[in-house]
Structure 1
Amino acid sequence: MTNDQTYRQTIEELETILRALENDTVDVDDLTARVQRSAELIRLCKQKLRNAEAAIDQVFDTLDEEDDAEPNDPADR
């Protein structure tokens, strides 16, 4: 599994595998490999989503910290 793939590339590969499975174009001998690859891709997608969520949370935490650190302007009262 390569982490160099983008989320979009990973989803596209999953969709390709799904279409092949839906169209019965996957040979039985290849089925196990495709299912295993799908599981790897799903794990990669989950990891990328968790990483994105953590990065976004960090941005909002930083913004909140900046807001808390700013002195209150008497004109705002």
Structure 2
Amino acid sequence: METTYRDAIAELESILRALETDTVDVDELTARVQRSASLIRLCKQKLRTAEDAIDRVFENLDQEEELPEPEPEAPTPAPAARRQPRAPRETGGGLLF
């Protein structure tokens, strides 16, 4: 089972308390220091992984905000019709307008 960040911190605190109270003999000191270094590396790696994941989330949010929302297309108004002058109509005897 993988050690969680919380478990690693708890173990580091336990090692620190033991070192502060001088209950660790010299022979055990090396092993505890090595274990502490391993736990610190694990915690750093977990923090970097979490930071990268959070950065990706915010980058995705920023990209979504940068994309303009598609605006609904308004109907294009038809160009104003120009009135064409009427050609005079001819009728039997003359021109009518």
**1:43 lines up with 2:41 in the alignment:** yes
Q: Which amino acid aligns with 2:15?
A: I
In structure 2, C-alpha distance between the alignment counterparts of 1:52 and 1:40, rounded to whole Å: 18
Q: Any gaps of 5 or more consecutive residues in structure 1?
A: none
In structure 2, C-alpha distance between the alignment counterparts of 1:73 and 1:24, rounded to whole Å: 70
Q: Which amino acid aligns with 2:9?
A: I
Deviation track 1:44-76 (CA, whole Å, cap 9, x = no partner) reads 1111111110000000001111112242659xx
Q: 1:27 Cα deviation (Å)?
A: 1.4
Equivalent residue in structure 2 for 1:17, among 10, 15, 29: 15
Q: Which is helix-richer, 1 or 2?
A: 1
Q: Which amino acid aligns with 1:5?
A: T
Q: How high is the sequence identity, in percent, across the aligned residues?
A: 68
**1:7 lines up with 2:24 in the alignment:** no
Structure 1 consecutive aligned stretches of length 4 or more whose deviation exceeds 4 Å: none
Q: Which amino acid aligns with 1:16?
A: S
Q: Any gaps of 5 or more consecutive residues in structure 2?
A: 73-97
Q: Which is strand-richer, 1 or 2?
A: 2
Name which structure has the greater RCO, CA cutoff 8 Å, separation 6+: 1
What is the number of equivalent residue pairs in this alignment? 72
